[in-house]
Chains A and B, each alone.
Chain A
Amino acid sequence: MVPVTFFLALAAILFCIGLYGVLTRRHLVIVLVCIELMLNSVNINLVAFSAIGPFANITGQVFTLFVITVAAAEAAVGLAILIALYRNRNSIDVIKHDLLRW
């Protein structure tokens, strides 16, 4: 039996890679992909606990399905925004979009 720690470590590594990508990559598509990566690391956690956690039950796997659905929706909406942004500003470089400045 693979101990739960291994799954958690994998999830943590994936999460960190995703986070790193989100925070550093300038290409918005990559950023979106990295967000998917972070969501999936969470999914690994959920599934791992659902199978071999101290209170193992089906809820975790159900939740994973929810996350995947939401992630799909999110990707769709994100890409749509991205295309709209590209049409308007001719760029999908994160650095160039600083409209949040005060």
Chain B
Amino acid sequence: MIQNAWLIPVFPLIAFLILLFFGRFLKEKASYVGIAALALSFIVSVLVLFERIGGETYKFVIEWITFGESAITMGYEVTALNAMMLIVVTLVSLVVHIFSREYMHDDNRIHVFYSYLGLFSFSMLGLVLAPNVLQLFIFWELVGLCSFLLVGFWYFKPEAAAAAKKAFLTTRIGDVGLLLGLVILFNQTGSFDYGVIYAAVENGLINDTLITATALLIFLGAVGKSAQFPLHVWLPDAMEGPTPVSALIHAATMVAAGVYLVGVMYPLFLASSTAMTVVAYTGAITAFFAATMALVMTDIKRVLAYSTISQLGFMILALGTAGYVAGLFHLMTHAFFKALLFLGAGSVIFAVHHRQDIRDMGGLWSKMKITSVTFLIGALAIAGVFPLAGFWSKEEILASALLNGDGFLFAIALITAFMTAFYMFRLFFKTFTGEYRGGDHDDPHADDPQVDAYGAADVAEADNPRDDSMDKEAHVPPAEDHDHHHSPEENSGFMTLPLIVLASLAVVAGLVNLPFMGHPLEGFLTEGLNLGAQPHGALWLAILSLVVAGSGIALAWAMYYKGAIAEDFFAKKAPGVHNLLLNKYYLDEIYTAVFVRPTVAIGRFFWEMDKSIVDGIVNLIGRSTSSTGRSFGRRHNGQLQTYGLVSILGGIVVIALAFVLRGYFG
């Protein structure tokens, strides 16, 4: 089966093509095509994983392009790392496909949605299977495209259109860095193949400066894709996309590709201590800042988005402190529990008629039992509570920060872990406990800084089959409010089944790397790679991390469930900080002022210059030529006799000159 690993991405590709050409006729049935394709992919992935665990490996390449004596090849390869990733991607993608069946039910472009999902799954799986880093880059860009399409799926909303553009452009900055890194690497090693690059680094064929430079450039790609500071600004906005998309692309798979990239290029990073430091600090800073913003957000999806950024920061931090397995382990567990949380959020949003503000929710515990319980499991997992998946992986990250990093990194990681527990349970308590607050008011917080989140409301209504209607209406909440008076209730099996699957994974996924079973995942992933010893924490570290998580949960409980501390206690204490966080550190505004506006201004300036000077000179030459001509033309009065006189005088002058100069006549 491992030779047929190429089938894994091909199934979703076929689904994409079918839906592209025939989706219109399938409409809702489109979902079954997508689900079937992903189910097949998942089955093949499982088989491949088992064979890989049995020790088999396979690589297949064909020549893609030749220039001079060099050739670039493309193909696919099964390694331990991507065998693991295949499972993660196909599984999450499969459950998201199933979930969307219900979630996107009302959208009359559901076939388009499924075709995009298929294309995304194909690209993501292609990225994972790539035998060389150029192929990885190609699929890397394709997943970016899919992200663009899916974030902008409701393109008629200006926010979604802007968010899609922002997502693509911001990651593009990182991608250009990555491309440059690859190009330089290629010129040094003559190949994009992982093996050749590893060997070149190991044998010292590349000088240290270039190793650091390429590692940093490649890392820039990861920073963009994995939404690390300072390029993280696109991910929260990307929440304009449909929620299943957020779960699949912007939580579990695509954003993790940056981490995966650092993982596959790990020998290069290990060879440069500067690069490792940069990676570690970027991760730590991102983890911290994103967590602080997650503390104050009120849009359920944005809280999760910042949490994703923060968790990705954790993974990057782990990789930066030589915790290769820790980072990738967390990638896997995070994929499950974050997809779970997003789908849970999707389930909630669907039930409360496409509202996303947690201040409009509450009291859903009794109404949506399955969603609530699974969401709680996810929250516990991300907070790092024993014995859920997040506990094991986060503990390893803390260990690597402590053992290979410095005190600062470790402290930041601990604080962030505390904040994680706090904001997740703030979210949980606000959403599921207390009274349902979404009863009869439409837009209670319209003048809130997060007002754009409300633009997302009612999108499903907006796109129901009223094709000839004006989309302008889509942005105004519909007048008929009857939906909102229905109290929310549990969704159908299409939505709860994925939650249950992911919840059970969030419980058990940690088991694959249990310390007292000898870290089986570590053995699997590091086999044949020379990455040095993996850090492991002592028991006290595990207990410490549990205490930290527990106190975070306790504080959230005190504030948002028990009410022992007023909800706005901290906001009142430090309104400046609160405002700063609500406005996301004003980074969007700063970027606009520092990068966007000046670029456009320079463009305008050049355009004016182009019209007035560059083209002005051209037109000036043209105009002066024609005006000279015209002034001579005026001498031509049409009088035959004048012409004759002039030509005779001219003849005389010529003859006279010839005599004087003793030219041809002399």
B528 lies within 8 A of chain A by Cβ? no
Whether the Cβ atoms of A19 and B638 lie closer than 8 Å is no
Whether the Cβ atoms of B640 and A97 lie closer than 8 Å is yes
Whether the Cβ atoms of B644 and A95 lie closer than 8 Å is no
B187 to chain A minimum Cβ distance, whole angstroms, is: 63
Please pick, from A19, A94, A102, the residue contacting B639 in the complex, using a CB distance under 8 A.
Answer: A94
B643 to chain A minimum Cβ distance, whole angstroms, is: 7
Interface centre among A19, A97, A98, A99 (most CB of B within 10 A): A98
B648 lies within 8 A of chain A by Cβ? yes
Report which B residues bind A (CB closer than 8 A).
Answer: 633, 636-641, 643-645, 648
> Nearest A residue to B633 by beta-carbon distance?
A102
> Nearest A residue to B634 by beta-carbon distance?
A102
CA distance A87 to B172 in the complex (A): 81
Please pick, from B633, B640, B645, B648, the residue contacting A100 in the complex, using a CB distance under 8 A.
Answer: B640
Please pick, from B636, B641, B645, the residue contacting A101 in the complex, using a CB distance under 8 A.
Answer: B636
A23 lies within 8 A of chain B by Cβ? yes
> Nearest B residue to A100 by beta-carbon distance?
B638
For A101, the chain B residues whose CB sits under 8 A away are 636-638
A51 to chain B minimum Cβ distance, whole angstroms, is: 26
Segment 14-59 of A: residues with Cβ below 8 Å from B:
19, 22-24
For B633, the chain A residues whose CB sits under 8 A away are 102
For B644, the chain A residues whose CB sits under 8 A away are 22-23
Chain B interface mostly helix, strand, loop or mixed?
helix
A-B contact pairs, 9 of them (CB 8 A): A23-B644, A95-B639, A97-B638, A98-B637, A100-B636, A100-B638, A100-B640, A100-B643, A101-B636
For A102, the chain B residues whose CB sits under 8 A away are 633, 636
A102 to chain B minimum Cβ distance, whole angstroms, is: 5
Please pick, from B640, B645, B648, the residue contacting A94 in the complex, using a CB distance under 8 A.
Answer: B640
A32 to chain B minimum Cβ distance, whole angstroms, is: 12
Supplied contacts A19-B648, A97-B640, A102-B633, 9 more A-B pairs, CB within 8 Å: A22-B644, A23-B641, A23-B648, A94-B641, A95-B639, A98-B637, A98-B639, A100-B638, A100-B640
> Nearest B residue to A28 by beta-carbon distance?
B640
B121 to chain A minimum Cβ distance, whole angstroms, is: 73
CA distance A100 to B637 in the complex (A): 8
Please pick, from B637, B638, B641, B648, the residue contacting A24 in the complex, using a CB distance under 8 A.
Answer: B641
For A19, the chain B residues whose CB sits under 8 A away are 648
For B636, the chain A residues whose CB sits under 8 A away are 100-102
> Nearest B residue to A99 by beta-carbon distance?
B638
> Nearest A residue to B644 by beta-carbon distance?
A23
For A95, the chain B residues whose CB sits under 8 A away are 639
For B638, the chain A residues whose CB sits under 8 A away are 97-101
Segment 73-102 of A: residues with Cβ below 8 Å from B:
94-95, 97-102
For A94, the chain B residues whose CB sits under 8 A away are 639-641
For A24, the chain B residues whose CB sits under 8 A away are 641
B627 to chain A minimum Cβ distance, whole angstroms, is: 15
A95 to chain B minimum Cβ distance, whole angstroms, is: 7
> Nearest A residue to B642 by beta-carbon distance?
A23
> Nearest B residue to A95 by beta-carbon distance?
B639
CA distance A101 to B644 in the complex (A): 14
For A97, the chain B residues whose CB sits under 8 A away are 638, 640
CA distance A64 to B664 in the complex (A): 28
CA distance A102 to B626 in the complex (A): 14
For B648, the chain A residues whose CB sits under 8 A away are 19, 23
Interface centre among B633, B636, B641, B643 (most CB of A within 10 A): B641
CA distance A99 to B638 in the complex (A): 6
For B641, the chain A residues whose CB sits under 8 A away are 22-24, 94
For A100, the chain B residues whose CB sits under 8 A away are 636, 638, 640, 643
For B643, the chain A residues whose CB sits under 8 A away are 100
Whether the Cβ atoms of B639 and A23 lie closer than 8 Å is no
CA distance A94 to B638 in the complex (A): 10
CA distance A99 to B639 in the complex (A): 8
CA distance A18 to B641 in the complex (A): 13
CA distance A98 to B637 in the complex (A): 7
CA distance A100 to B636 in the complex (A): 8
> Nearest A residue to B641 by beta-carbon distance?
A23
CA distance A27 to B644 in the complex (A): 16
CA distance A35 to B163 in the complex (A): 88
Interface centre among A24, A94, A100, A102 (most CB of B within 10 A): A102
CA distance A98 to B639 in the complex (A): 5
CA distance A101 to B635 in the complex (A): 9
B646 to chain A minimum Cβ distance, whole angstroms, is: 10
B386 to chain A minimum Cβ distance, whole angstroms, is: 99
For A98, the chain B residues whose CB sits under 8 A away are 637-639
Interface centre among A19, A94, A97, A101 (most CB of B within 10 A): A101
> Nearest B residue to A101 by beta-carbon distance?
B638
Q: Lowest 5 A-B CB distances belong to which pairs?
A: A98-B638, A101-B638, A100-B638, A23-B641, A23-B645
> Nearest B residue to A25 by beta-carbon distance?
B641
CA distance A95 to B633 in the complex (A): 18
B645 to chain A minimum Cβ distance, whole angstroms, is: 5
A75 to chain B minimum Cβ distance, whole angstroms, is: 18
> Nearest B residue to A24 by beta-carbon distance?
B641
CA distance A99 to B643 in the complex (A): 13
B421 to chain A minimum Cβ distance, whole angstroms, is: 91
> Nearest A residue to B636 by beta-carbon distance?
A102
CA distance A94 to B637 in the complex (A): 12
For A99, the chain B residues whose CB sits under 8 A away are 638
CA distance A24 to B636 in the complex (A): 17
CA distance A99 to B636 in the complex (A): 11
B629 to chain A minimum Cβ distance, whole angstroms, is: 10
CA distance A49 to B633 in the complex (A): 43
B430 to chain A minimum Cβ distance, whole angstroms, is: 86
